[in-house]
């Protein structure tokens, strides 16, 4: 009853203007992409509430049960694996894990790269030379190879793995931050704040960072799907997230064994990976057109 009342009441025009109207102007593809990502975020945040079963719960009577509409039952809408574990439950936990890794990886890469870029632009001379050399090195080797050798030398654990993902594409942010800071220093506003006596932390954090944030955010929409792909690739090879934890790539790698008898184990996480990376790319392209003045 209460719900119907709120629906019947006209929406305050300010909310309408601020949220609904711009939404209607979004292109359909972007809208679909945003909806899919919203769904993924809800799944990741509410994973504990949404879980139909524990991810290790066996249902031995329903082993390799196909998904609903393919001869399966409502009890296991996405089917089960060969131990009778519910695919949808594992999928939910995998989405949470993969998004978490990608989120932290992106944040680490952005922070690390931006700080190094600022340092290079601030100190110039040998600091800059050193950072530029590191950028060259990172850019000259495929990151998957670097990641694999680090995993070989150090072994694998989840914190290490997440930290490692944070080293992916930091050099992109370092380049952007350095380049834009050098430009900003010539533009006068940074010099003006410096003349007023602001400390470097204030100049970079409160004046230069907001000015280059849009370019950094656009780059984050590139890094995020790249880390999802990298993480799932490594996990697929059995060198990323280790069981009993599960991630999307992990599930695909495991489902590969059953590709003839139970392709749904592999198809469900594969679909999620493709749709998620596709959605972020679409949204990122659109954001780039909207946000990044350097590309106009």
Partner 1 sequence: MLLFAASRLLRAALTILFVMTFAFVVLRLSGDPALLIMSVDAPPEAIKAFRQAWGLDQPIWDQYVSYIGHAFTGDFGKSMRDGRPAIELVLERVPATLAITLPALALKIGLGIPAGIYAALHRNSVADRVTMAVSVAGFTMPSFVLALLLVLVFAVTLGWLPASGSDSAAHAILPIITLGVGGAAIMARFTRSAMLEVLGQPYIRAASAKGVTWRRVISHHALPNAAIPTVTIVGFMIGSLVAGAVVVESVFAWPGVGRLLVSAVANRDLAVVQALLMVIAASMVMANFAVDMAYGWLDPRVRSAPAGH
Contact between 22 and 36 under an 8 Å Cβ cutoff? The reply is: no
Residue 180 binds partner 1 (CB under 8 A): no
Contact between 173 and 117 under an 8 Å Cβ cutoff? The reply is: yes
Contact between 121 and 175 under an 8 Å Cβ cutoff? The reply is: no
Among 3, 49, 145, 196, binds partner 1 (CB under 8 A): 145
Q: Distance (Å, rounded) from C-alpha 65 to C-alpha 87?
A: 10
| 188: DSSP letter | S
Contacts (Cβ under 8 Å, ≥6 apart) of 176: 113, 114, 117, 212, 215, 216, 219
Contact between 168 and 105 under an 8 Å Cβ cutoff? The reply is: yes
Among 31, 32, 237, 245, binds partner 1 (CB under 8 A): 237
Among 16, 45, 75, 141, binds partner 1 (CB under 8 A): 141
- Residues 239-278 within binding reach of partner 1 (CB under 8 A): 239, 249, 252-253, 256, 259-260, 263, 266, 270, 273-274, 277-278
CA atoms lying within 13 Å on the CB side of residue 269: 33
Shorter beta-carbon distance to partner 1: residue 23 or 152? 152
Shorter beta-carbon distance to partner 1: residue 134 or 198? 134
Shorter beta-carbon distance to partner 1: residue 191 or 274? 274
- Residues 80-99 within binding reach of partner 1 (CB under 8 A): none
Classify 142 in phi/psi space as left (phi over 0), alpha (psi -120 to 50) or beta: beta
Q: Distance (Å, rounded) from C-alpha 228 to C-alpha 234?
A: 10
CB of 278 to partner 1, least distance (A): 4
20-28, 44-52, 86-94, 228-236 -> range binding partner 1 (CB under 8 A): 228-236
CB of 70 to partner 1, least distance (A): 14
Contact residues: partner 1, CB under 8 A: 132-133, 136-137, 140-142, 144-146, 148-155, 225, 229, 232-233, 236-239, 249, 252-253, 256, 259-260, 263, 266, 270, 273-274, 277-278, 281-282
């Amino acid at each position: 009853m209460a719900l119907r009342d709120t629906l019947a009441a006209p929406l305050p025009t300010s909310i309408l203007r601020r949220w609904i109207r711009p939404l209607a102007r979004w292109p359909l593809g972007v809208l679909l992409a945003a909806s899919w990502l919203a769904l993924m975020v809800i799944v990741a945040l509410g994973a504990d509430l949404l879980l139909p079963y524990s991810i290790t719960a066996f249902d031995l009577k329903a082993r390799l049960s196909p998904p609903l509409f393919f001869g399966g039952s409502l009890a296991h809408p996405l089917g089960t694996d060969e131990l009778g574990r519910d695919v949808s439950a594992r999928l939910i936990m995998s989405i949470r894990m993969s998004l978490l890794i990608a989120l932290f990886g992106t944040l680490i890469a952005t922070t690390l790269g931006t700080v190094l870029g600022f340092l290079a632009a601030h100190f110039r001379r040998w600091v800059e030379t050193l950072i530029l050399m590191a950028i060259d090195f990172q850019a000259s080797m495929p990151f998957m190879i670097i990641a694999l050798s680090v995993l070989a030398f150090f072994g694998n654990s989840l914190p290490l793995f997440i930290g490692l993902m944070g080293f992916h594409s930091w050099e992109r942010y370092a380049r952007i931050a350095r380049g834009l800071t050098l430009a900003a220093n010539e533009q006068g506003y940074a010099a003006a704040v410096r003349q007023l006596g602001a400390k470097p932390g204030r100049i970079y954090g409160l004046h230069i960072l907001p000015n280059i944030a849009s370019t950094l955010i656009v780059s984050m929409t590139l890094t995020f799907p790249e880390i999802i792909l990298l993480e799932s690739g490594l996990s697929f090879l059995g060198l990323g997230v280790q069981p009993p934890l599960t991630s999307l790539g992990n599930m695909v790698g495991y489902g590969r064994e059953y590709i003839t008898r139970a392709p749904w184990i592999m198809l469900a996480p594969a679909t999620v990976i493709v749709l998620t990376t596709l959605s972020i790319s679409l949204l990122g392209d659109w954001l780039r057109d909207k946000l990044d003045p350097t590309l106009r």
